[in-house]
Amino acid sequence: MVEEQLIRTNYPEFEPELVKNIADVAVVKMFEPGDYLMKTGQHFRNVILITQGIVKVYREDDEGNEFLMYYLESGQACALSMICAARFEASQLMAKAETKVEVLTVPLAKMDEWMAKYKSWYYFVLQNYRARFDEVLNTLDHVAFRNMDERLVFFLKRYSDTHKTKNIKQSITDIASELNSSREVISRLLKKLSENGVVKLSKDHIELLDLSAYLR
Amino acid sequence: MVEEQLIRTNYPEFEPELVKNIADVAVVKMFEPGDYLMKTGQHFRNVILITQGIVKVYREDDEGNEFLMYYLESGQACALSMICAARFEASQLMAKAETKVEVLTVPLAKMDEWMAKYKSWYYFVLQNYRARFDEVLNTLDHVAFRNMDERLVFFLKRYSDTHKTKNIKQSITDIASELNSSREVISRLLKKLSENGVVKLSKDHIELLDLSAYLR
DNA sequence: GACGCTTCGTGACAAACATCACAAGCAGGA
DNA sequence: TCCTGCTTGTGATGTTTGTCACGAAGCGTC
């Protein structure tokens, strides 16, 4: 049982009756930074709706590198949770809380029921798939066609947009891991970017200045 | 108006009433090899169900390289056509007929209607999303984590599975384009693969012998 | 058969990136 | 204060891949 207001704030597009339904059956769960929401090979019994915080969705390789797929924030659902849940299939992705995260979990069966019943839910689910698909395509584009410097800028921008800050507080080592590159390369590229006035390097964070030269 | 048998053969999981409905409203379209089913930026007004042939879904870069995402065959739908259609959004992908292709086109409005009405359609759509998503993830994995030789083998296998033949009849130049590599590199790698007995190079095709050493 | 067209193989070189090695800076704890 | 661990910067070097240049082979056309 959940406060309806919490749902309305984060999912304003849901129709009133749906909100009431969610409030009835959803369970709130909290995650601390670093907690896993989902691991490779795991199965789902719930749909996960994010109401607070940022979730990092990534793929892990043999050496433990965490290759970033996309971030999820409040107002979004874990598309994979829906898609896997719907077919009782295992996920190929990992999802980890970047910040303190609050989610609503809704039993699987409800997802199917609501798809038929509520247009707003139906569109929400489809829109979510579509958005996630696009993000993966975008990531793929960058890996396939761009050099590391552009990919780095793309990462910084994505981080900045999602975290709503110009200051990236993440170690160079971690950034390298998310781009499946190496610390040394990222370090050198950042140096070049700061020489060009694109970023400003500070002791414990990277500040974004002007990405315009890099975006296309 | 379409033969119901055509639908039943290719989509055996559809319930009888749904088959009848599809037969009533679907229109058959034919494509010759090389024809486009969909281009970047295009909008959809139909869901596309493939009943014959192979469709190549890819992304094009600035220089016209056709970076392969996945193949579609009969019994599958163009997930993008569904997802884009549903939201009147533009596609980021290209789809081209590899062989002679036959499809059924179903007006958009029906897709939504059937989602609520027919469980078999609902599961079909979700399953399709999921399968496409997985394929893109797989492609991404390879680009991100693997070297060109492994990616080449992966491509050959995918081609072989989809086209149901051990003989790849595609120019080295084209293969290079689909892997976003260059002809010279692929040529050298194929030579190495043939030295290792993985493939046999013939004048006008590549024959797959034993991929086991390469698959993981 | 001569000509163009496309495909393919191969050597030489360049660019991007990974890896190794080492040093310096900083924070926290004993 | 010293030690330890974590992070970062940077030079040297190797690997993978892309690019350029060139020549050969096949194939259709006139």
pLDDT digits (tens, 9 = 90+) for B107-136: 888 988 999 899 999 989 888 888 888 899
Q: Are residues A121 and A159 in the same domain?
A: no
Query: Which residue would you say has higher pLDDT here, B162 or B112?
Result: B162
What is the span of the domain harbouring residue A131?
4-143
- Domain count across chain A: 2
**In this structure, what DSSP letter does residue B90 have?**
P
- State which residues between 163 and 202 of chain B bring their CB within 7 Å of strand D: 180-182, 184-185
DSSP state of B211: -
Residue B45, pLDDT score? 80
Q: What is the pLDDT of residue B195?
A: 92
Q: Do the domain assignments include residue B194?
A: yes
Name the residue among A107, A103, A99 with its Cα closest to residue A78. A103
Kind plus residue range of the DSSP H or E element containing B44: none
Q: Is residue A214 part of a domain?
A: no
User: Are B71 and B172 contained in the same domain?
Assistant: no
Residue B183 lies inside a defined structural domain of this protein = yes
Any B CB within 8 A of A145 CB:
yes
Q: Are residues B47 and B151 in the same domain?
A: no
Indicate if the pLDDT at residue B83 is higher than 80. no
Same domain (yes/no): A154, A196: yes
How much is the CA Rg of chain A, to the nearest whole Å?
Answer: 19
Distance B190 CA to D28 C1' (A): 28
Q: Is the pLDDT of residue A1 over 70?
A: no
- Of A111-115, A212-216, B120-124, the poorest mean pLDDT is in A212-216
CATH at B189? 1.10.10.10
Is B213 domain-assigned? no
Task: Judge whether B216 lies within some domain.
Answer: no
* Per-chain mean pLDDT for chain B: 89
- Sequence-ordered list of residues with C-beta below 8 angstroms from that of A202, at least 6 positions apart, any chain: none
A122/A156 same-domain check? no
Give the Cα separation of B72 and B10 in Å (integer).
13
Considering only CA atoms, name the residue closest to the C1' of nucleotide C15.
Answer: A147
Asked if residue B151 and residue B139 are part of one domain, the reply reads no
pLDDT in the model for residue A91: 63
B34, B138: one domain: yes
Chain A: closest CA distance from residue B204 (Å): 28
Residues A24 and A87 in one domain: yes
In a domain, B215, yes or no: no
| Same domain flag for A136 and A204 | no
Please check whether residues A117 and A25 belong to one and the same domain.
yes
The residues, ordered by sequence, that sit 6+ positions from B110 with a Cβ below 8 Å of its Cβ are B21, B25, B47
Q: Quick check: A87 pLDDT over 60?
A: no
Q: In B72-86, which positions are buried (b, 16+ CB within 10 angstroms) versus exposed (e)?
A: bbbebbbbbbbbbbb
Residues A54 and A103 in one domain: yes
Q: Are residues A75 and A96 in the same domain?
A: yes
The last residue of one of the domains, among B115, B143, B171, is B143
Q: Helix, strand, or coil here: B48?
A: strand
Asked, for residue B214, whether it belongs to a domain, the answer is no
Residues facing residue A60 across a β-bridge:
A66
A59 and B CB contact within 8 Å: yes
pTM: 0.90
> What's B13's domain CATH number?
2.60.120.10
B150 φ, ψ to 5°?
-65, -40
Tell me, what DSSP letter sits at residue B99? S
Query: How many residues are given for chain A?
Result: 216
Q: Which residues of A touch B83 (CB under 8 A)?
A: 126, 129-130, 133
Q: Please, are residues A45 and A85 in contact by the beta-carbon 8 Å criterion?
A: yes
Task: Give residue-wise pLDDT tens across range B72-82.
Answer: 999 988 876 66
DSSP string, chain A: ---HHHHHHH-TTS-HHHHHHHHHH-EEEEE-TT-EEE-TT---SEEEEEEESEEEEEEE-TT--EEEEEEEETT-B-HHHHHHHHHTPPPS-EEEESS-EEEEEEEHHHHHHHHHH-HHHHHHHHHHHHHHHHHHHHHHHHHHH--HHHHHHHHHHHHHHHHT-SEE---HHHHHHHTT--HHHHHHHHHHHHHTTSEEE-SS-EEE---TTT--
Contact partners, residue A53, CB within 8 Å, separation at least 6: A31, A73, A74, A97, A98, A99, A100, A101, A102
**pLDDT, position A83:** 65
